[in-house]
Structure 1
Amino acid sequence: MSWHRLLASKIRELRLVCCQTSSHSEGIRSFISKNYTQVKSQAPEFPFIVRECENAIPLVVARYDFGVEKKVCVEGFSEKDVDKAVEDLIKQADSINSHRETH
């Protein structure tokens, strides 16, 4: 969970898409339950957005500088796997943001 302290400084928005009831969204729902309150208490202005839709394919979407977005399908992932996917998206931020600045 080291990504919590890096989140707001590395990416512009984190969007989580899931189904409220399907088993393939269970991991992302657990991730949201475990992390939402902590993230919002540490960075209340940061857009940590949850979108629920029936039968939605669970996704984690990170928006970086210049509107660049990366998404990861987390269908069937465990909560721990979703956590790792978020951490990986945050780790990509420096490369993505600096690459856009040089062009």
Structure 2
Amino acid sequence: MPDIRCQSGNQVQDFIEQHYVTLKKANPEFSILIRECSGVQPMLWGRYGFGKEHSVSLDNMNIDQVAKALETVVNAKP
């Protein structure tokens, strides 16, 4: 399950606003947790079976880079 943490007013939030509905419609069983936090760097975590996790910093990424990072985490096989 991807877990995205971000502050308001950045590219990560723009990505979520533009693509969340499309992602959920295309993948209704796919769990996405979005947390708005102040004073933190935007991060993306992938949580997999057996307690495995993979994280990616989304700091200073544009919308296309955030999409690529999400794709990478979703397709990862840690």
Query: Structure 2-normalised TM-score?
Result: 0.85
1:36 aligned to which of 12, 15, 20: 20
2:4 aligned to which of 1, 16, 22: 16
Q: Post-superposition shift, 1:38?
A: 1.5
Match of residue 66 from structure 1: 50
> Comparing both structures, which one devotes a greater share of its residues to helix?
1
Deviations 1:34-80 (A, max 9, x none): 22111222333432111001122100111111121111011111011
Larger radius of gyration: 1
Match of residue 82 from structure 1: 66
SS of the residue corresponding to residue 4 of structure 2 reads strand
Distance 1:80 1:39 in 2: 14
**Contiguous gaps of at least 5 residues in structure 1:** 1-12, 97-103
SS of the residue corresponding to residue 41 of structure 2 reads coil
**Contiguous gaps of at least 5 residues in structure 2:** none
Identity score, percent: 28
Give the aligned residue type for 2:25.
S
Query: Structure 1-normalised TM-score?
Result: 0.67
RMSD: 1.4
Divergent runs of 4+, >3 A? none
